[in-house]
């Protein structure tokens, strides 16, 4: 039959023609359906029920089926369907639960044929049998499906879904007896029309209501469903268990799905809310629609392909009271606008870069790189000859760049975090100390910054202008390189631009920003670096000299610091005799002394030195007029912003803490909070719990400060009687037993008690540490592998103490990557609770709060 | 603490003679003197003034229920009376608490103090001092600025802008248009982002509805001094206890006139069940014409006009509450006033919660949709198949009638519902109660509560309250979300 229809159209020579066009309806449409001959369309809605004929370039209203003076709810249609066998036959589902059939062959004005008032609630869907003339199926809100024989007055059979409302019913195209029904609770049921007592199969297709389904016109086993969970899924029903074979994620709940004729993998969808467009997806490429129709101004409520065998004409009705005919060649193809380049970091800092092949191969700068650590892999997507769509560029090249582990190392971060002094001493001392730390790690620019800060804020007026000028000039010239990649031969416009700009050097901030971006193209290998014409030792030597000068001045005016002095604030006032922390620190300092890989970073910074911009005039006036210290605040602020922008949020936060009120007002609260959270997040990823707590404590942001005050109480139960312990942590009031015994020395632990979250045994921090050096089992002999547990849950490490090299830090190192914008930590971590509050960390948090 | 048994309201301690006592506007009784308040007992034992304590405490499914309560207590550190009364319906309580917890404490677009302040604003529309007190505490605990509690003049303009929509939503949600939304969203520096607005709307609707529940179930003020300290707050805020007990002692003409004498209330129940059965079994019999159906809705709408709740023309709003509200005179006006039929009926099928409301809410304030969806579903489907003393009763029609009647008063019409059913199933005194609880909850009295469905258990009446509350919340949400959708398109 279908074949016949097609032949006749072909024979008749009336291949469909037309253009994109629309007509205004008087009221919003709820559903549309086409006549078999593709020449007429029926539109139904609450206040409309009309038939339009589709002419060459317009819609012409043929018939208004809403007759009678009094509007009846029977005309208020939720759905309409035109019989595909008999062009005089229509059926509508009314919102009041009535199913109405219409016979266009009736001579009277009122074409209403039959009225079935069997459903108690709104009927959501009606469906004619594809080959049987008199069989009509309906699905209703009341949870029932009913099958009607149009020759009889009542329903032939009733199917109870035994669950919530029915949203859609569809006869299978090929299986004469089968139909599918979708439900509000996310289920899909398959029924045999002869067996009304029980469904054949049922499976859960979506989370939330399944609004629609459609059988594939050719492939008998495929059923597409769309749900409120914004997904379109394609199920293969041939197997015994329905198998999901494709899934398309859309941006709004899916109201209708319709397979595209003659295209095996294409499906048209429209959504229930918010999104007004109609999409045609290739289910094999679920990420981007292959075509899109954007004409409607309100949600599209009905879509239908104009002809069973013609894939180029789509009709749609909408709540905006229009009826559209869309022509495929007018569709917009989102792929045109898609960005065909992709860039992504791997867990270990490798970088993959995919781009159009033409773009990469045509680049003349791309030179073969011998003996590198880079393994480019190229993929080429073959054009599918059966594909009806031509994608703009379906071939792309993917390059993968490996980073060597060392350049991605974050050792400098850990060392810096541990060694920086942030409070407790006069400003000048803090600055000097931190400068030294930075210098020790070969981070000269940071060292310079600290030195400058000291000069600006604590020894104003005695600095010789020449020195100041000099050091500032230098400060901007040497940039720390935190993370370098062999990205050099990626033909990025960024690199070349910055190379151009570098010679200008007129505007300081702009220049710095440009330079920072150019670090992207620098790498470890000096011979590969373009800017390496400047001898590295020249830079370094120069810096040394500066610093000596500065230290000299320091000796000349020690008294300037006096008013800066504040009472030392102990970050960890230890309340007990066990001295755990110093040992931990010692351990760390040992590590810091060892040679480390980031040492050569400074050498690789090989930017052309910026012309020393003139600050002489400023420094003169500074000398004479005694400018207030906040004269420099904007510059300091810019410096901090620069560091944060570059990914070195550590420096920004440290300076912020050290300068305290001097600079705080210059930077808006939100930025500060953002920096703090990023830094704290980083510290916690490196398991530097103590330092992160110190930072939290020292921060002046309320939002940050209160991080420390959340969940500072640990409620513990007595290990003997299992009842909550009261005030003292080591003795139980109820059973008069000492609860917290050290599993190693079997004495009561007063003070820092560290315990395994896995088996809840523990003891003195030092004892446990010592124990775990030699054994990975629990000292209590319970058999738990405490040491393993630590690796398994690295973010919530059961043991907190010295950090052994664990595989996690390298994975975190991706965060403060160069070229990525702004602060290192992701903003999504804001407000996160402290992970792994246990042992010493918990103790520290508690005491931190007590200290305030 | 010295507790008195259930007794006449407020009279217990007001006996002492003192000239400076103020007289409460509602019950004409003298509020307790402040210094005596430390020993002032709660009015009745138990969490509700309407329901005897032992009724609340003994309900089926005790184990499950205890677990749930213990869990709630350990997470929130308190067990307020609302929770206790709701715990009669354990299943529901679970989804209620989950959604309330989510909107008050979990990740969301609004800062925590804002959420509590919005709750205060919402509760104040119905002068529900119980909820206000509860959230004043929470507001301060979450770091809210104490100055805001002085009244609306002290809050930021942005929050103040919410007043209009709060007022409309509480009393006449059908008046909300997209212009209201635009006014909130596009006002320069004080604008609300859409997710924030949706969060606020959800909170407002939740607390309006919860106020209905509080008054409808006669929730007592918290008595435990170290939990929420209702007693202390009475002293602080000068609330007359009648505000809290909701027993206004006011004679209600329409109540006494209706058919609930001491007549055969048993046969009443039988009759109701008979009618329900008939409705369920032979719908064909009465096969009303479509036009007839349409007029029935109109009739029901109109009829709700007649269901008035007494002469409360000039209500005296205590100043402590009124500082949180603007335009206190604005109240529920019947959707269908005679003579002005220009307000279009909200067609439920055109904007349903399941299809449209959910999608929008979930899009802008993720996950709340699922929680609300679950809650609505739960309350709609909750049944124990019992009616008073009878078992194995299908109560679907009755529940649907209650739900749809509330929506009807808000002008929401279901095409597929025969509003004749409402008339058959809901007796007049129940209609009065429904209307009072949903539209003017602050006027609910114990009399009203007692006067309908005398044979029914208290737990069933709480069930009714839950239905009313959720129906109301959904109605408000539908109107607000529809306006937001229109704003978006």
Report the 10 Å Cβ neighbour count for A807.
Answer: 10
Indicate if B128 belongs to the active site.
yes
Q: Which two tokens stand for residue A19?
A: 């253009």
B361-373 pLDDT, tens per residue? 888 888 898 899 9
Average pLDDT over residues A819-827: 33
Q: Which of B287, B290, B354 faces A73 most closely, judged by CB atoms?
A: B290
Q: What is the DSSP letter of A748?
A: B
Catalytic member of B24, B27, B128, B240 = B128
B227-277 pLDDT, tens per residue? 443 333 333 333 433 344 444 433 333 333 344 444 455 667 777 777 777
B113-161 pLDDT, tens per residue? 899 999 999 998 888 888 888 898 888 888 888 888 888 888 888 888 8
Q: Which two tokens stand for residue B472?
A: 């109301």
Q: Over chain A, what is the mean pLDDT?
A: 70
Measured CA to CA in angstroms, residue B165 lies from A631, B182, B393, B459 at distances of 48, 11, 41, 34
Highest mean pLDDT (candidates A3-7, A489-493, A652-656):
A652-656
> Has residue A226 got a pLDDT over 90?
yes
Q: To the nearest 10°, the Cα dihedral for A561, A563, A567, A570?
A: -40
Average pLDDT over residues A256-283: 90
B149-184 pLDDT, tens per residue? 888 888 888 888 888 899 888 888 888 888 899 888
Question: Residues 334..353 of B with a Cβ closer than 8 Å to A: which?
Answer: 347, 349-350
User: Residue A179 phi/psi, 5° resolution?
Assistant: -140, 155
Q: What pLDDT, on a 0 to 100 scale, did the predictor assign at position B39?
A: 36
**Which of A201, A242, A237 shows the shortest CA–CA distance to A222?**
A237
Q: Which of B291, B355, B414 faces A272 most closely, judged by CB atoms?
A: B355
Question: Residues 199..258 of B with a Cβ closer than 8 Å to A: which?
Answer: none
Please report residues of A whose CB lies closer than 8 A to that of B349: 46, 76, 78, 95, 122
User: Residue A31 pairs with which residues in a beta bridge?
Assistant: A44
Q: What pLDDT, on a 0 to 100 scale, did the predictor assign at position A710?
A: 66
State the pairing for strand pair A112-116/A123-128.
unpaired
Please report residues of B whose CB lies closer than 8 A to that of A70: 291
pLDDT bin (cut points 50, 70, 90) of residue A57 is confident
| Residue of higher predicted confidence among A139 and B71 | A139
Chain centroid, CA A616 distance in Å: 48
Q: Over chain B, what is the mean pLDDT?
A: 74
Q: What is the DSSP letter of A827?
A: G
Please report residues of A whose CB lies closer than 8 A to that of B415: 73, 76, 94-97, 122
A253/B415 Cβ within 8 A: no
Q: What is the pTM of this model?
A: 0.60
User: Which residues fall within 8 angstroms of residue A388, CB to CB, at 6 or more apart?
Assistant: A263, A266, A311
B293/A96 Cβ within 8 A: yes
What is the end-to-end Cα distance of chain A in Å, rounded? 86
CA–CA separation, A135 and B34 (whole Å): 78
A178-191 pLDDT, tens per residue? 999 999 889 999 99
Instruction: Look at A443-457, A496-510, B71-85, B369-383 and tell me which has the smallest mean pLDDT.
Output: A496-510
pLDDT bin (cut points 50, 70, 90) of residue A531 is very low
CA distance B357 to chain A (A): 9
User: Residue B117 phi/psi, 5° resolution?
Assistant: -65, -40
User: Residue A23 pairs with which residues in a beta bridge?
Assistant: A323
Average pLDDT over residues A514-520: 38
pLDDT bin (cut points 50, 70, 90) of residue B336 is low
DSSP result, A501-569: HHTT--SHHHHHHHHHHHGGG--S-GGG-TTTTS-HHHHHHHHHHHHHHHHHHHHH-GGGGGGG-----
Work out how many CB contacts closer than 8 A connect A with B. Answer: 68
Q: What pLDDT, on a 0 to 100 scale, did the predictor assign at position A121?
A: 86
CA–CA separation, B411 and B346 (whole Å): 6
CA–CA separation, A728 and A737 (whole Å): 12
> Has residue A563 got a pLDDT over 50?
no
B489 touches chain A (CB under 8 A): yes
CA–CA separation, A437 and A414 (whole Å): 12
**Which of B180, B219, B209 shows the shortest CA–CA distance to B85?**
B219
CA distance B209 to chain A (A): 25
CA–CA separation, A271 and A257 (whole Å): 9
**Which of B334, B470, B454, B459 shows the shortest CA–CA distance to B403?**
B470
pLDDT bin (cut points 50, 70, 90) of residue B33 is very low
What is the end-to-end Cα distance of chain B in Å, rounded? 59
A772-815 pLDDT, tens per residue? 888 878 887 787 877 655 544 433 334 443 333 333 333 333 33
> Has residue A210 got a pLDDT over 60?
yes
Residue of A nearest to B482 (CA): A273
Measured CA to CA in angstroms, residue B300 lies from A738, B407, B409, B420 at distances of 73, 11, 9, 8
The pLDDT > 70 percentage for chain A reads 62
**Which of B239, B206, B197, B191 shows the shortest CA–CA distance to B119?**
B206
Average pLDDT over residues A643-655: 87
Q: What is the DSSP letter of A13?
A: T
3-state secondary structure A243-281: EEEEEEECCCCEEEEEECCCCCCEEEEEECCCCCCEEEE
A309-342 pLDDT, tens per residue? 888 899 999 988 999 999 988 888 888 777 777 8
CA–CA separation, B233 and B65 (whole Å): 30
DSSP result, A378-392: ---PPPPTT-SSPPS
A427-470 pLDDT, tens per residue? 888 888 989 888 888 888 888 888 888 888 776 544 444 344 44
Query: Which segments of B152-229 does DSSP mark as H helices, in order?
Result: 157-160, 162-171, 178-185, 194-216
Highest mean pLDDT (candidates A131-145, B283-297, B418-432):
A131-145
Tokens 């930017």, residue located: A607
| Residue of higher predicted confidence among A735 and B8 | A735
Q: Which two tokens stand for residue B250?
A: 């006011």
A365-394 pLDDT, tens per residue? 444 444 444 444 444 444 444 444 444 445
> Has residue A545 got a pLDDT over 70?
no
Question: What is the number of residues in chain A?
Answer: 852
**ipTM of model:** 0.71
Please report residues of A whose CB lies closer than 8 A to that of B485: 273-274
The Cβ-side half-sphere exposure at A828, using a 13 Å CA radius, reads: 2
> Has residue A92 got a pLDDT over 80?
yes
Average pLDDT over residues A468-490: 40
Residue of B nearest to A252 (CA): B359
The Cβ-side half-sphere exposure at A679, using a 13 Å CA radius, reads: 32
pLDDT bin (cut points 50, 70, 90) of residue A293 is very high
Please report residues of A whose CB lies closer than 8 A to that of B294: 73
Q: What pLDDT, on a 0 to 100 scale, did the predictor assign at position B288?
A: 53
Interface test with A, best of B355, B360, B485 (most A CBs within 10 A): B355
CA distance A272 to chain B (A): 7
Measured CA to CA in angstroms, residue A92 lies from A122, A304, A310, A320, B231 at distances of 12, 16, 25, 21, 62
User: Residue A171 phi/psi, 5° resolution?
Assistant: -70, 140
A661-682 pLDDT, tens per residue? 878 888 888 888 888 888 988 8
Please report residues of B whose CB lies closer than 8 A to that of A72: 290-291
pLDDT bin (cut points 50, 70, 90) of residue A410 is confident
| Residue of higher predicted confidence among A3 and B430 | B430
Residue of B nearest to A124 (CA): B349
User: Which residues fall within 8 angstroms of residue A840, CB to CB, at 6 or more apart?
Assistant: A580, A581, A689, A690, A752, A754, A765, A800, A801
């Amino acid at each position: 039959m279908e074949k016949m229809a097609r032949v006749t159209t072909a024979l008749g020579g009336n291949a469909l023609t037309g253009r994109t066009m629309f007509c205004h309806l008087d009221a919003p449409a709820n559903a549309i359906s086409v006549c078999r001959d593709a020449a007429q369309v029926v539109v139904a809605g609450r206040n409309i029920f009309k038939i339009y004929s589709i002419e060459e370039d317009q819609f012409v209203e043929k018939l208004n089926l809403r007759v009678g003076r009094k509007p009846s709810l029977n005309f208020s249609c939720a759905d309409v369907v035109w019989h595909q066998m008999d062009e005089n036959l229509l059926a509508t589902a009314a919102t009041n639960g009535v199913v109405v059939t219409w016979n266009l062959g009736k001579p009277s004005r009122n074409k209403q044929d039959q009225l079935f008032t069997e459903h108690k609630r709104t009927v959501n869907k009606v469906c004619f049998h594809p080959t049987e003339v008199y069989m009509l199926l309906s699905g209703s809100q009341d949870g029932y499906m009913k099958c009607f024989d149009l020759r009889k007055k009542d329903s032939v059979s009733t199917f109870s879904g035994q669950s919530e409302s029915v949203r859609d019913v569809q006869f299978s195209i090929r299986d004469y007896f089968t139909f599918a029904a979708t439900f509000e609770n996310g289920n899909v049921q398959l029924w045999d029309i002869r067996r009304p007592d029980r469904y054949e199969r049922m499976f859960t297709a979506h989370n939330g209501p399944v609004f629609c389904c459609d059988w594939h016109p050719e492939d008998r086993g495929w059923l597409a469903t769309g749900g409120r969970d914004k997904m379109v899924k394609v199920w293969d029903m041939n197997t015994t268990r329905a198998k999901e074979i494709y899934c398309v994620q859309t941006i709004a709940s899916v109201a209708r799905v319709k397979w595209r004729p003659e295209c095996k993998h294409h499906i048209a969808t429209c959504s229930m809310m918010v999104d007004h467009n109609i999409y045609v997806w290739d289910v094999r490429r679920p990420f981007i629609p292959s075509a899109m129709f954007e004409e409607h101004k309100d949600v599209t409520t009905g879509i239908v392909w104009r002809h069973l065998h013609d894939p180029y004409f789509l009709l749609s009705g909408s709540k905006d009271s229009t009826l559209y005919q869309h022509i495929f060649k007018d569709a917009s193809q989102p792929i045109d606008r898609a960005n065909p380049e992709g860039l992504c970091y791997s867990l270990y800092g490798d970088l993959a870069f995919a781009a159009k092949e033409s773009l990469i191969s045509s680049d003349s700068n791309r030179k073969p790189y011998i003996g590198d650590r880079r393994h480019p892999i190229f993929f080429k997507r073959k054009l599918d000859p059966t594909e009806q769509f031509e994608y703009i560029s379906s071939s792309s090249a993917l390059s993968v760049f490996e980073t060597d582990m060392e350049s991605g190392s974050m050792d400098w971060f850990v060392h810096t975090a541990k060694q920086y002094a942030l409070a407790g001493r006069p400003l000048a001392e803090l600055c000097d100390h931190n400068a030294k730390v930075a210098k020790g790690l070969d981070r000269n620019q940071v060292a310079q910054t600290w030195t400058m800060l000291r000069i600006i804020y604590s020894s104003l007026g005695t600095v010789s202008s020449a020195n100041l000028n000099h050091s500032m000039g230098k400060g901007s010239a040497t940039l720390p390189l935190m993370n370098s990649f062999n990205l050099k031969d990626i033909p990025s416009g960024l690199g070349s631009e910055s190379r151009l700009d570098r010679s200008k050097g007129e505007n300081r901030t702009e220049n710095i920003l440009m330079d920072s971006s150019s670090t992207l193209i620098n790498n470890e290998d000096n011979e590969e670096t373009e800017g390496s014409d400047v001898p590295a030792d020249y830079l370094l030597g120069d810096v040394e000299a500066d610093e000596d000068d500065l230290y000299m001045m320091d000796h000349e005016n020690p008294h300037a610091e006096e008013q800066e002095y504040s009472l030392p604030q102990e970050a960890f006032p230890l309340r007990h005799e066990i001295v755990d922390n110093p040992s931990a620190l010692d351990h760390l300092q040992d590590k810091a002394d060892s040679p480390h890989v980031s040492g050569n970073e400074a050498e690789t910074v090989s930017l052309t030195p910026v012309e020393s911009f003139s600050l002489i005039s400023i420094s003169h006036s500074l000398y004479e007029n005694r400018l207030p210290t906040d004269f420099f605040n904007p510059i300091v602020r810019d410096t901090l912003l620069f560091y944060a922008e570059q990914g070195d949020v550590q420096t920004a936060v440290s300076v912020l803490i050290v300068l305290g009120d001097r600079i705080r007002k210059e930077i808006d609260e939100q930025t500060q909070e953002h920096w703090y959270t990023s830094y704290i997040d980083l510290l916690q990823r490196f398991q530097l719990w103590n330092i992160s707590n110190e930072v939290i404590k020292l921060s002046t942001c309320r939002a940050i400060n209160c991080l420390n005050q959340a969940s500072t109480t640990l409620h513990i139960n007595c290990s003997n009687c299992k009842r909550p312990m009261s005030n003292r942590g080591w003795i139980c009031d109820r059973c008069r037993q000492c609860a917290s015994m050290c599993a190693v020395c079997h004495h009561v632990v007063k003070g820092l008690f560290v315990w395994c979250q896995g088996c809840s045994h523990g003891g003195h921090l030092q004892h446990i540490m010592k124990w775990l050096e030699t054994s990975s089992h629990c000292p209590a002999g319970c058999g738990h592998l405490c040491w393993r547990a630590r690796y398994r849950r690295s973010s919530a490490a059961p043991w907190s103490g010295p950090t052994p090299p664990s595989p996690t830090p390298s994975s975190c190192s991706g965060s403060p990557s160069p070229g990525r914008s702004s602060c290192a930590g992701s903003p999504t971590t804001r407000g996160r609770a402290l992970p792994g509050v246990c042992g010493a960390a918990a103790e520290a948090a508690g005491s931190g709060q007590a200290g305030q | 603490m010295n507790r008195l048994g259930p007794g006449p309201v407020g009279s217990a301690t007001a006996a002492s003679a003192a000239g400076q006592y103020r007289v409460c506007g509602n019950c004409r009784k003298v509020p307790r003197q402040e210094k005596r308040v430390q020993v002032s007992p709660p009015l009745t034992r138990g969490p509700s003034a309407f329901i005897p304590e032992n009724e609340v405490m003994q309900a089926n499914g005790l184990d499950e229920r205890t677990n749930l309560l213990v869990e709630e207590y350990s997470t929130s550190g308190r067990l307020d009376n609302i929770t206790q009364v709701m715990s009669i319906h354990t299943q529901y309580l679970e989804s209620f608490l989950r959604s309330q917890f989510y909107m008050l404490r979990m990740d969301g677009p609004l800062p925590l103090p804002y959420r509590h302040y919005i709750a205060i604003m919402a509760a104040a529309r119905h002068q529900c001092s119980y909820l206000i007190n509860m959230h004043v505490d929470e507001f301060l605990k979450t770091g809210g600025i104490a100055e805001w509690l002085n009244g609306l003049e002290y809050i930021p303009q942005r929050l103040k802008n919410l007043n209009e929509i709060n007022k409309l939503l509480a009393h006449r949600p059908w008046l909300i248009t997209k212009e209201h939304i635009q006014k909130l969203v596009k006002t320069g520096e004080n604008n609300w982002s859409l997710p924030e607005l949706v969060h606020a709307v959800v909170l407002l609707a939740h607390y309006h509805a919860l106020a209905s529940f509080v008054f409808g179930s006669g929730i007592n003020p918290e008595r435990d001094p170290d939990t929420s300290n209702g007693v202390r707050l009475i002293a602080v805020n000068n609330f007359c206890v009648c505000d809290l007990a909701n027993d206004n002692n006011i004679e209600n003409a329409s109540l006494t006139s209706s058919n609930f004498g001491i007549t055969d209330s048993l046969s009443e129940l039988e009759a109701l069940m008979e009618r329900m059965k008939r409705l369920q079994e032979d719908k064909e019999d009465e096969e009303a014409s479509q036009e007839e159906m349409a007029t029935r809705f109109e009739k029901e709408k109109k009829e709700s006009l007649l269901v008035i709740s007494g002469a409360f023309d000039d209500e005296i709003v205590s100043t402590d509450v009124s500082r949180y509200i603007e335009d206190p005179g604005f109240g529920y006006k019947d959707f269908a006033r005679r003579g002005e039929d220009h307000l279009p009926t909200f067609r439920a099928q055109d904007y349903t919660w399941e299809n449209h409301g959910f999608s929008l809410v979930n899009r802008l304030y993720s996950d709340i949709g699922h929680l609300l969806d679950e809650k609505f579903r739960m309350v709609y489907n909750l049944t124990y198949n019992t009616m008073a003393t009878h078992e194995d009763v299908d109560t679907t029609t009755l529940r649907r009638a209650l739900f749809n009647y509330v929506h009807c008063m808000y002008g929401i019409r279901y095409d597929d519902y025969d509003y004749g059913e409402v008339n058959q199933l809901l007796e007049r005194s129940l209609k009065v109660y429904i209307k009072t609880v949903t539209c003017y909850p602050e006027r609910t009295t114990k009399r009203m509560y007692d006067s309908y469905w005398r044979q029914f258990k208290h737990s069933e009446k709480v069930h009714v309250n839950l239905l009313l509350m959720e129906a109301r919340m959904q109605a408000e949400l539908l109107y607000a979300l529809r306006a937001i959708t229109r704003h978006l398109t």
